[in-house]
Structure 1
């Protein structure tokens, strides 16, 4: 190229600045010029405050150490997601989904075998957190950062203040040559081929570009409004369309897990940050009103003071039919959303950016990789959708005596007939005592959640048949005991520091004069 190829990103927030930073890291400014246009009057939604382990890879790619960014974003470590009251009729009051790490390879066979043994009706240990090192770290309140003498690679996520993270990434991007323009978007200008040629601002400025990234949130100003790309709704499958959010005081010991508690018409998250806790109630407006949801949310948090204001949000669940149309890619909320459960929003953003970088590199900055890119990103979204949907389909709320008035919402989810065939096939394999790993291999598509995550969900829910009346003996065939899994995970945990102590020490190291 004789002159730099120009990428224009419309909209900031975490998604926009993640893209700007990864682009700037991948391509030198002489090759690709990156401009991010942001309207100063548009607030950041800022509710996605948890991540999957992919964010760890993001910061490693940018060569940014945790000790640098985490204190600035009030971040804490995340090893685990705990689900409370999702499946009470199965005898499970709560269960954990720990992140899978390298040392877990030693216990994976024991976990999978025990899950199959339990599906055959035998009474063996199947609680996910008892097989995974990160589950043990969550139980002990330890950070997943081990000394160099620990010879295994650990995976984990983070909790963070999303607004602070967006501002931090903006500063990093600017330092790496990204142009930041404050302007309010007015309209899309297109050429005869239908591609976007420029963006016009409300002030009348025309900003030219060769390729465009839409980070304008649910408004989807470029992809849907400008290019007319259809939106494929998941509303028939996933009912939640609203949220009410409010912070609370910081937890004293900074848990290393996100907490997700089932309520009347949805669920409530609790995310521990350094300076506060993040809370939100994700619910369906079909089953509860805005005022009722806020009242239940306040009661759940134990906050009756109306002076502490809640924020109400609307969500649109689904994805674009094309994530890349013409010379524009949707990113973040503008491309789709599958609610906050399992903290997949930034995970999907990152996978989309990485797939785009690969496509542009392989096809010399042409649209040659567009079809494959769209298939890849679509598969990511559908894989996440299936995993999230299984949480609702398999719930057992309202099936026990004394069930409250939440039975309608949870029964509707359980009885929902609008299930994708990909999910039904997977559940069929599970309940026929089949092999989930073999099912994923047969599909030849890398799953959004691997077999270990699916085992955590299904075993955690207690999705098993009744126990056989005649048991061969306590612990017979129980690989949890035979392989001494408890000794292994507890021994591994000895290498890790307490979470609070590590956070406080890292904060001291970043203070001026330290």
Structure 2
């Protein structure tokens, strides 16, 4: 294999393939050519319709205007996820993209809130969170302010199939070549690296570097290179998802709903033209027929398609970069969409590849660093997802009773113990989830701190209450000025 990387081949379309092609072509530029191989005969999973705020950076890099993005993908805004029944039936909490309160010196806002609670001041943490207040009011518009206290971080819900189609048009405008075909054989060099793909029609696609976006099949990274898979189903036992679209709501909420069910959970995602619905469950506790019935009997609106099932094994490839192949998307691993991380993992994989792009040949140090960062990212997200499950009080339900007793990773038990004993949260390295995210889910799942930082004792009770009430007032002020979510979306799409 020649050292200089001039030709990159992307195997597979969908969001993973076309986002990889578009970003890589945009970032690396004319020094490489990119050819994407896909087949219309091979369907895409395409159930991921909710995202997290870094998706906005992708759009900015690709030069996508927001109004155009909203129109092309039938997108809506997302301020948060509302978790319903995860701690106990009938109770709910939000994990928002915002942060409660305001930035404080040397310790987080929640320590002051915790001290006030210990003094008998019973205020809800989320009443200090602008994202929560806007979500509950059904209001949304971007807020441009230099004052972090009134920031309104957001992401999107969108139609994954429309998004992939839109990314294809952008990629082709950037110079990416598309080839239709199904891979019949993969040729390798003497060192085991990939040389070319032979299609069923006999065409041979050669490349210097390959991006495997072939989904769960993992045609290159696993079937050909055999890197192995770390199975995490003993920690996150859900192994199936059933998805079905339904008619849109009269009003589109600016948040995702995640509703606990007897053997898993159900998502509800509002789009401009329909709702996305799905039921993630563990087949050891519920049959596919039962899971389908649970989903179909709990739709808010009439179904407009047939339910379809996706089987999965939670985990990750042991090497996401091996030889001259990088796996992106489902070929690299799978974490259930509880926190809408699927599309983000595509984005982070390809931006990481751009950082370590082997323009002068594959170097072992770059491969090792890429794989280490990928593994850390997956582990951190995995721990965050486990937290939602193990801290539950849904007693008397076999799935939830069993999952409470799981032997969880020491990294998570330490984080939980530190918070319970001291109220302290430390963000590890480049953890995708900030302290405010961990705080909301810990409190929402009933994990309460027994202490707070002594800095919070630096003011009198009266001064503390006055400060908290002042913050609440500041957070409330923008709500009246914001348009409804639907008014904002309709206005942008009319541009």
> With structure 1 as the length reference, what TM-score do the two structures score?
0.88
Is the 1:97–1:128 Cα contact (8 Å) retained in structure 2? no
1:133-212 equivalence runs, <5 A: 133-146=130-143, 154-212=152-210
Is the 2:40–2:180 Cα contact (8 Å) retained in structure 1? yes
Unaligned runs of 5+ in 1: 468-474, 510-514
- SS of residue in 2 equivalent to 1:138: helix
2:29 maps to what in 1? 28
2:225 maps to what in 1? 227
What's the offset of the Cα at 1:131? 2.2
Query: Given the superposition, is the C-alpha separation of residues 276 and 327 from structure 1 closer, same or farther in structure 2, using an over 3 Å criterion?
Result: same
Is the 2:264–2:282 Cα contact (8 Å) retained in structure 1? yes
- SS of residue in 2 equivalent to 1:245: strand
Query: Given the superposition, is the C-alpha separation of residues 139 and 106 from structure 1 closer, same or farther in structure 2, using an over 3 Å criterion?
Result: farther
1:373 maps to what in 2? 370
What's the offset of the Cα at 1:462? 2.4
Is the 1:126–1:459 Cα contact (8 Å) retained in structure 2? no
How many Å separate the matches in 2 of 1:51 and 1:206?
Answer: 36
1:512 maps to what in 2? none
What's the offset of the Cα at 1:140? 1.4
1:243-254 equivalence runs, <5 A: 243-254=241-252
- SS of residue in 2 equivalent to 1:50: coil
What's the offset of the Cα at 1:136? 1.3
Is the 1:298–1:304 Cα contact (8 Å) retained in structure 2? no
How many Å separate the matches in 2 of 1:433 and 1:178?
Answer: 53
- SS of residue in 2 equivalent to 1:490: helix
Query: Given the superposition, is the C-alpha separation of residues 115 and 311 from structure 1 closer, same or farther in structure 2, using an over 3 Å criterion?
Result: farther
1:471 maps to what in 2? none
Is the 1:130–1:136 Cα contact (8 Å) retained in structure 2? yes
- SS of residue in 1 equivalent to 2:494: helix
How many Å separate the matches in 2 of 1:297 and 1:481?
Answer: 47
- SS of residue in 1 equivalent to 2:286: coil
How many Å separate the matches in 1 of 2:420 and 2:241?
Answer: 33
What does the per-residue CA deviation read over 1:91-143, in whole Å, with 9 as the maximum and x for residues that have no partner? x810001103799537993334324776xx66555744322211111011112
Query: Given the superposition, is the C-alpha separation of residues 494 and 304 from structure 1 closer, same or farther in structure 2, using an over 3 Å criterion?
Result: closer
Is the 2:392–2:446 Cα contact (8 Å) retained in structure 1? no
Is the 2:135–2:253 Cα contact (8 Å) retained in structure 1? yes
- SS of residue in 1 equivalent to 2:86: strand
Is the 1:137–1:144 Cα contact (8 Å) retained in structure 2? no
How many Å separate the matches in 2 of 1:174 and 1:192?
Answer: 33
1:432 maps to what in 2? 421
1:345 maps to what in 2? 342
Selected match of 1:463 from 447, 468, 482: 447
Query: Given the superposition, is the C-alpha separation of residues 478 and 150 from structure 1 closer, same or farther in structure 2, using an over 3 Å criterion?
Result: closer
2:40 maps to what in 1? 40
- 1:486 pairs with 2:484: no
Selected match of 1:328 from 325, 328, 332: 325
Is the 1:242–1:315 Cα contact (8 Å) retained in structure 2? yes
- 1:448 pairs with 2:432: yes
2:402 maps to what in 1? 412
How many Å separate the matches in 1 of 2:176 and 2:64?
Answer: 17
1:18-97 equivalence runs, <5 A: 18-29=19-30, 31-88=31-88, 93-97=91-95
What's the offset of the Cα at 1:486? 1.5
Count of aligned positions: 482
What's the offset of the Cα at 1:492? 3.1
What's the offset of the Cα at 1:332? 0.4
2:412 maps to what in 1? 423
1:501-512 equivalence runs, <5 A: 501-509=487-495
Is the 2:80–2:94 Cα contact (8 Å) retained in structure 1? yes
What's the offset of the Cα at 1:304? 8.9
What's the offset of the Cα at 1:200? 1.1
2:486 maps to what in 1? 500
